[in-house]
Amino acid sequence: MSRPEPVTVRPAQPEDADSLAGLFGRLGYATTGPVVAAQFALYHPGASFHALAAEHHPADGAPRLVGAATVSIQQRLYAARPVAQLTALVTDAEARQLGVGRALVRAAAELARNARCERLFVRSDRRRTESHDFYRMLGFDEVNLTFDLPLDP
């Protein structure tokens, strides 16, 4: 049995925008490289929002971006410690089973720990049952019911 190729996680960069847009499209988020690139200008990485990129390093080629995650650190007026939300997590279908999702969640949890967060949570559409199984396997507990109020622009 061959070992999976190495996967590394690093901060995402504006030059990753086109690849990130493609990955987010797989989640059903219709976006483009220019939109993603513009978002990088709206936040300061390392403060309350983090974007992570996972690269696969095959033995016979250049590294390829195969996954992404975004993490939001949220301070709450009623609690001494913040929480972290995994606001997006996506893995290229061709890179499944390489440990990409696990590596991204591990990096997100480390960011949360470094920010003194009391927990990392994720919101997931009810239809994404495969994702739910993945999160449970990693130790996430199902604890909340979420309600959305659509807002007109």
Quick: pLDDT tens for 49-94: 999 999 998 888 888 999 999 999 999 999 999 999 999 999 998 8
Residue 54, domain CATH: 3.40.630.30
Quick: pLDDT tens for 121-153: 999 888 888 889 999 999 999 988 888 888 998
Domain range enclosing 62: 7-137
In a domain, 16, yes or no: yes
In a domain, 153, yes or no: no
Q: Is 46 left (phi over 0), alpha (psi -120 to 50) or beta?
A: left
In a domain, 143, yes or no: no
How many domains, the chain?
1
9 strand-pairing partners: 54
| Class of residue 117 by CB neighbours under 10 A (exposed 0-12, middle 13-18, buried 19+) | buried
